[in-house]
Chains A and B, each alone.
Chain A
Amino acid sequence: MHIPDGFLSPGVWGTLDVIAIPAIGTLARRAQREFDEHKVPLLGVMGAFVFAAQMINFPVGIGTTGHLVGGALLAYALGPAAAAIVMTAILATQALIFQDGGILALGANVLNMAIAGVLAGYLPFQVWGRGPHRKAAIFLGGFLSLMVSAVLALSELTVSGVRMPPAVLGVSLSLFVVSAVLEGAITLAVVQALEAINPGFIRQPRAERSLAIWVLAGVSIFLSACGIALAASNPDGIERLIENAGIASHTQKLMVTPLSNYKLASAHYPWLGQALAGLAGLLVVYALCAFIGRAIRRSRRIASVAEGSA
């Protein structure tokens, strides 16, 4: 689900762009470290592969076909950081050349599909990928990668004030579930085909578990669970949800300084202020988790260095 420009309210695309830019910078550096820079052709060609994979139709029902979206598959083959970079490159190419998704909305699309989708897809594989539930983990990864990005996109649209009657919401949510199940099945089938050719194509999850990825992926899934709640309740329900969560008052205060323009704007559009407050609350949680994850990782590295020198 590529959101074009003009769908998200300024507060939503602005905030998401501000979050996405440093996130991509960090991931790019991480991918560069994991994959030495010389291997850049592989990442590009894998992006082209995901593009081309959309041409191969998988028959599902009477007259219907589906195709691979590929976030989870890329994460299994390249590792989550490199997969996020490849997905970002795909999204940017689609926005620039294929008029599929907007430029201002690129931050939102990148967060939904390249970051949250890829990480949520990788999480089950990281946890159960070595054990007896490997197949289920691969399926679940494909399912989650699509479901998380679709629900995030839907909730961003809802927060931006694109109103959808409950019937439409229900239909689109069930469509998401169907296509997510399909993505899981396709991912599993392709992984099995790949391993028949060469087991080395799929990276084994590392025994040493990266906390940052755990936290980020967990938060992605949590955010989209919030998104379902957000989308399922009617637009007035958003307000109630935020009040219930108790974040409205804090975020309103937080928002005043950096985004005073929007505060002004929200005098004219009350929904804008509420929407911003809600989203900012969710994003503050997200950013906090990412930050804590990084800090823990760094302190661990320092500890291991100290151990080495001692």
Chain B
Amino acid sequence: MHHVRIEGWSARQSFLHRRDPRAKSLVLLTFLIAIGTADRRFAEIAACSVGLFLFAVITSRLPLGGILARSALVLPFSLTFALISYISGDAHRAWLLTGKSYLSALGVLVLMATTPLPQLLRGLEEMHVPRHLLMVMQFLYRYLFVISEEAQHMRAAGACRGGTLRGLQRRRAGFSAAAGILGVLFARSHARAQGVHYAMLSRGFSGSIPALDPLHFATMDAIFLAAGVALFSTLRLVAGAA
């Protein structure tokens, strides 16, 4: 499962891993905006950003091949639209769509591969993203794998019981069986949530999750933030002015 790999990547140690999540997300945002608003001289910006990201990936001891392949998850969608644009005679847009979506995905992936999700969420909380939403995300991520595994078990069990029927009959039976699986999965998830909730209440949960290691915005983070924002905005402005 690929998300486990991201979690392994984000647990490594490097200069980029140690940076404050707030600094990293703001630099990423600048990069995304630079890419998102680029138009005519996109090739130059793209070439420079690819170089920067290759450097970042290698110095952060992340597997280059793995990162490039993961970012390519966006390509099936963008290539479809690029192909449509290309056929309707807009080759420039086809290239823009592919390049922009791939580079943006690469940027997000580098952030996620150097920042554990709980840390990123805490950074976002400091930046006044609604805490309620972030807590929902945290629980969602925590139980995603648990519930998915349960769904897999139930799917296997369903296949074992309904595998012999064929044709229309199977389709109808299969449809209601799948609905039944989801119903039971919902009920189990609900019960699990209740159990989790009781356990948390009994341990003194009062509506927020206490931070074990508070974030620390060091001088180096400020330098990194300033450098990153300056770099990407200059890149965008230079390419845009020419």
Chain B residues with CB under 8 Å of A10's CB are 36-37
Q: Give 7 pairs: A residue, B residue, CB < 8 Å, sorted on A.
A: A24-B133, A38-B201, A44-B137, A56-B158, A88-B133, A102-B32, A102-B101
Q: B228 within 8 Å of A by Cβ?
A: no
Contact A104 B104 (CB under 8 A): yes
Chain B min CB distance to A286 (Å): 21
Interface residues of B (CB under 8 A from A): 3, 6, 28-29, 32-33, 35-37, 39, 70-71, 73-74, 77-78, 81, 84-85, 87-88, 90, 93, 96-97, 99-101, 103-105, 108-109, 112, 117, 120, 130, 132-133, 135-144, 146-148, 150-152, 154-155, 158, 170-171, 174-176, 178-187, 189-190, 192-194, 196-197, 200-201, 205, 207
Q: A233 within 8 Å of B by Cβ?
A: no
Chain B min CB distance to A140 (Å): 18
A161 vs B94: C-alpha distance when bound (angstroms): 11
Bitwise, A179-193 to B at CB < 8 A (1) or not (0) is: 000000110011011
Q: Which of B96, B133, B154 has the most CB of A within 10 A?
A: B133
Given the contacts A6-B97, A40-B136, A52-B150, A96 and B186 also touching, CB distance less than 8 Å: no
Kindly report which residue of chain A lies nearest to residue B143, judged by CB atoms: A48
Bitwise, A19-60 to B at CB < 8 A (1) or not (0) is: 000001100110110000111111111111101110111111
Question: Pick the contact of A56 from B33, B71, B101, B155 — CB < 8 Å?
Answer: B155
Question: Pick the contact of B104 from A25, A51, A103, A157 — CB < 8 Å?
Answer: A103
Given the contacts A41-B196, A49-B189, A194-B186, A58 and B174 also touching, CB distance less than 8 Å: yes
| Dominant secondary structure at the B interface | helix
Contact A6 B100 (CB under 8 A): yes
Bitwise, A102-115 to B at CB < 8 A (1) or not (0) is: 11100000000000
Chain B residues with CB under 8 Å of A192's CB are 179
Contact A13 B36 (CB under 8 A): yes
Chain B min CB distance to A7 (Å): 6
Q: A292 within 8 Å of B by Cβ?
A: no
A40 vs B108: C-alpha distance when bound (angstroms): 27
Contact A44 B104 (CB under 8 A): no
Q: A305 within 8 Å of B by Cβ?
A: no
A45 vs B191: C-alpha distance when bound (angstroms): 10
Contact B78 A97 (CB under 8 A): no
Given the contacts A5-B36, A39-B197, A48-B147, A193 and B136 also touching, CB distance less than 8 Å: no
Contact B139 A47 (CB under 8 A): yes
Question: Pick the contact of B143 from A32, A44, A185, A269 — CB < 8 Å?
Answer: A44
A185 vs B182: C-alpha distance when bound (angstroms): 13
Chain A residues with CB under 8 Å of B154's CB are 56
Chain B residues with CB under 8 Å of A90's CB are 140
